Chains A and B, each alone.
Chain A
Amino acid sequence: MKKDLQGRIHFKIVFWGPSLSGKTTALRWIYDNVEGLNKGGFTSVADHTGRTLFFDYTPMQATAQVVFDVYTVAGQRRHRGQRKVILTGVDGIIFVADSSPDQMEANIESMAELRSFVEEDLGHSISLVVMLNKQDLPNAMDKAVMLAKLGLGNAPNFTTCALTGENVKRSFRQVTRDILMYHLYPKASATASTS
């Protein structure tokens, strides 16, 4: 949480996950479809095919004084350094897991990297919501199996399809709500997340 010179409160949210899991698609869907948020420009550092090279970024205002600065990261393995930079000062993370069975190892690797960067803050001072994306695939992995393999059995989670927007808004609303609740009632949130 930060305040700018105009006194507005800023929270930083990052969509995290392996390459091609649907992070940019989800953010784009929110940007294009969710009403009630006052959105700024959509900045994207991507290659000519649309794959994120560094990050996507858009500010979204819930009220005149509360702004969510929303980022995605580049998922490919070689962009580890860039991901670490984008994570600086994060308040909430939406982990976008790919439900294709052949991407499970990439999901696990991405989650391990995230944990190595934020350590014990994840799920405590940094809110976490899991999007189990591409659940519309005919061979999508079982939700419970995915969460168990990721060690995320207790994290708030949604089965999503970023292309159609199914449950994407709910995931975003959950993380914004958890961030605000943590900052309004930090002690109660700490008790809830450890119970």
Chain B
Amino acid sequence: MSITVRQFDEILSDVIKSEPGIKKTILVDRTGLTIAHVSKFSYYPVDVDGIGAIASAVFCASEEQGKSLDVGDLTIVTSEFGDGKIFAAGAGKGVLCVITDKEVNIGMIRLTMMKAAAELAKVLDEFMAEKPAVAAGKTDAEREELRAALGELEKG
């Protein structure tokens, strides 16, 4: 079965609905690529790709730190700001990032994130299996896209 945007969006939307203070959820992979994102309000002007890249990098760097200190697996990174909080949790091959208001039920957020992370990890595994990172077996359409990009670059 082919993975669709909707499958990711449904899980991310469930996270948003679970707690009133959640403003945005972003799923990124561990290379910093934003895979999906859902906002509570349709207009939420942030650079999602940039936020996603930072979330992934911060989580992965914290994991590295944990390995160096031999303190076990990392579950959640919490960043507390004057006017809000950012949570990041590992979701298999991805990182789930949740942006909230200042006053939120942290216990509930943690619980919701852990549940969603497990679901996302499964869907991500299927998604990444469908879209392998290596070049072998490219479709004609993909080759055409790459040729078009090459043509654009050689114009400049």
Contact = CB atoms under 8 A, between A and B. Distances in A.
B48 to A, nearest CB: 9
Q: Size class of B's contact patch?
A: 35 or more
Contacts of A88: 30-32, 60
A43 interface: yes
A113 to B, nearest CB: 14
Given A86-B57, A184-B143, A2 B31 contact: yes
A63 B32 CA distance: 20
Nearest to A88: B31
Contacts of B107: none
B1 interface: no
Contacts of A89: 29-33, 133
Contact of A180 (B58, B64, B146): B146
Main secondary structure of the interface of B (DSSP, over half): helix
Q: Size class of A's contact patch?
A: 35 or more
B76 interface: no
Nearest to B156: A36
A62 B143 CA distance: 14
Interface stretch (B78-86, B97-105, B134-142): B134-142
Interface string B1-33: 001110010000000000000000000011111
A57 B53 contact: yes
Interface in A24-77: 34-36, 40-43, 45, 54-55, 57, 59, 62-63, 65-66, 69, 71
12 contacts: A2-B31, A2-B33, A5-B35, A9-B146, A43-B51, A57-B32, A57-B53, A66-B145, A69-B32, A81-B65, A180-B146, A180-B153
